[in-house]
């Protein structure tokens, strides 16, 4: 194993953190690319149950190796953020699709503008002559736009590439991130965390290339898209409970009122109520609507408390200050 010394860049400790699962064809060029782009950085490979030579090659090229036995990118990100101590974190995938030389630009922007997250928005590069690899599958592109738009409508923000795996984080972002997700839906949670705490963030266009021939993608358009939709739903319930349960309660109340109108009309004309099952349903729906609204109020108070705790964790870390 070759050891490479690291140092500081602009008085900041830089860590490159790379989640990998069966990336024996790409892990060497990825590590070498980031070492050339960021010679000051410590490079960590987090090996997630690989069955090929990923771990062995990572050691050969001098990266710090960590093994994660819980499958899924979300589990790996949780471990990376917990185990690695640095001032600035550069996260990319180990599949050689992200542009390592862009890392310096992302880091400089994070430091100069005192940001907490810079997202490398993917821009497809022209394939080399004879290259038949698909850079960005149409299903993934369409799904990314749909999910990004959904998050914007619910949580706000102006992200264009919510699912990018190429990001630079400040220490205070990393140490305040709870990481609940298990798989590729972790990118959604990363964005929502920044939006909920109103952290300063931005996006920068970065080249995005195709996987090398023989390297297989771990993404599934429909499976991972469904997981991301479920994550968005979970985040709506946990981060905006008053809106969710308030609208649910209002919908139940409106349906109950619509069902009650014929009963009231009949009672005003005959003085009798013959639709007792409907009346029982109306009563139950009104009660459920009221309970739903009260539930939203209670959960909203809990959410605000959780958010304050995350804010305290965020403020506990020192901000990255510009230095030459």
66-97 pLDDT, tens digit each: 999 999 999 999 999 999 999 999 999 999 99
Does residue 80 contact residue 46 with C-beta atoms inside 8 Å? yes
Q: Which of 54-58, 94-98, 163-167, 221-225 has the lowest mean pLDDT?
A: 221-225
- If one compares 78 and 138, the residue with the highest pLDDT of the two is 78
Q: Mean pLDDT across the stretch 92-104?
A: 95
Q: Which of 97-111, 195-209, 231-245 has the lowest mean pLDDT?
A: 231-245
> Does 249 score more than 60 pLDDT?
yes
Q: How confident is the model at residue 154 (pLDDT cuts 50, 70, 90)?
A: confident
Q: In what order do the strands lie in the sheet with 117-124?
A: 64-68, 42-48, 14-20, 88-91, 167-170, 117-124, 201-208
Torsion, Cα of 308, 319, 81, 54 (10° steps) = 160
Nearest to 46 by CA among 13, 30, 69, 12: 69
Q: How confident is the model at residue 206 (pLDDT cuts 50, 70, 90)?
A: very high
Regarding pTM above 0.75, the answer is: yes
> Does 227 score more than 90 pLDDT?
no
Does residue 2 contact residue 61 with C-beta atoms inside 8 Å? yes
Residue reference for tokens 């542009």: 99
Mean pLDDT rounded to a whole number for the chain: 88
Q: Which of 56-70, 208-222, 298-312 has the lowest mean pLDDT?
A: 208-222
Q: Residue 203, SS3? A: strand
Does residue 26 contact residue 213 with C-beta atoms inside 8 Å? no
For residue 13, what are its two tokens? 């400790």
Q: How far apart are CA 188 and CA 228, in angstroms?
A: 7
Q: How far apart are CA 187 and CA 150, in angstroms?
A: 14
Q: Write the DSSP symbol of residue 11.
A: T
For residue 110, what are its two tokens? 């994070």
pLDDT at position 276 is 85
Q: Mean pLDDT across the stretch 271-285?
A: 89
H helices present in the chain, as ranges: 27-37, 54-60, 73-83, 103-112, 138-155, 171-174, 186-196, 221-239, 241-270, 276-316
pLDDT at position 149 is 83
Nearest to 176 by CA among 14, 315, 318, 319: 315
Q: How confident is the model at residue 63 (pLDDT cuts 50, 70, 90)?
A: very high
> Does 133 score more than 60 pLDDT?
no
pLDDT at position 158 is 84
pLDDT at position 137 is 61
H helices present in 8-137, as ranges: 27-37, 54-60, 73-83, 103-112
- If one compares 22 and 317, the residue with the highest pLDDT of the two is 22
- If one compares 79 and 5, the residue with the highest pLDDT of the two is 79
The angle at the Cα of 18, spanning 14 to 24, to the nearest 5 degrees, equals 135
Percentage with pLDDT > 90 across the chain: 62
Q: Which tens digits make up the pLDDT trace of 172-205? A: 999 999 988 888 889 989 999 999 999 999 999 9
Does residue 34 contact residue 16 with C-beta atoms inside 8 Å? yes
pLDDT at position 34 is 98
């Amino acid at each position: 194993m070759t050891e490479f010394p690291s140092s500081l860049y602009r008085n900041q400790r830089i860590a490159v953190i790379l989640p990998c699962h069966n990336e024996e064809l790409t892990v060497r060029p990825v590590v070498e690319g980031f070492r050339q782009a960021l010679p000051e950085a410590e490079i960590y490979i987090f090996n997630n149950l690989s069955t090929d030579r990923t771990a062995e090659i990572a050691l050969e090229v001098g990266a710090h190796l960590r093994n994660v036995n819980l499958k899924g990118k979300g589990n790996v990100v949780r471990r990376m953020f917990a185990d690695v101590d640095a001032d600035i974190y550069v996260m990319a995938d180990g599949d050689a699709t992200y542009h390592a030389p862009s890392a310096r630009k992302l880091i400089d922007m994070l430091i100069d503008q005192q940001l907490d997250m810079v997202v490398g928005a993917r821009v497809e590069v022209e394939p080399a002559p004879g290259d038949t690899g698909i850079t960005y599958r149409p299903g993934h592109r369409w799904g990314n736009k749909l999910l990004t738009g959904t998050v914007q409508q619910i949580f706000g923000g102006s992200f264009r590439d919510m699912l990018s795996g190429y990001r630079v984080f400040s220490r205070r972002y990393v140490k305040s991130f709870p990481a609940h997700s298990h798989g590729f839906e972790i990118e959604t949670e990363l964005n929502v965390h920044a939006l909920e705490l109103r952290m300063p963030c931005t996006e920068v266009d970065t080249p995005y290339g195709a996987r090398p021939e023989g390297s297989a993608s771990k993404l599934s358009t429909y499976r991972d898209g469904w997981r991301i939709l479920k994550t968005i739903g979970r985040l709506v319930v946990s981060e905006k409970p008053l809106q969710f349960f308030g609208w649910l309660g209002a919908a139940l109340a409106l349906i109950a009122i619509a069902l009650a109108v014929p009963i009231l009309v009949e009672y005003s004309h005959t003085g009798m109520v013959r639709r007792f099952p409907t009346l029982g349903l109306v009563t139950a729906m009104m009660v459920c609507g009221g309970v739903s609204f009260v539930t939203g109020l209670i959960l909203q108070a809990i959410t605000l408390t959780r958010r304050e705790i995350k804010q305290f964790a965020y403020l506990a870390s020192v901000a990255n200050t510009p230095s030459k």
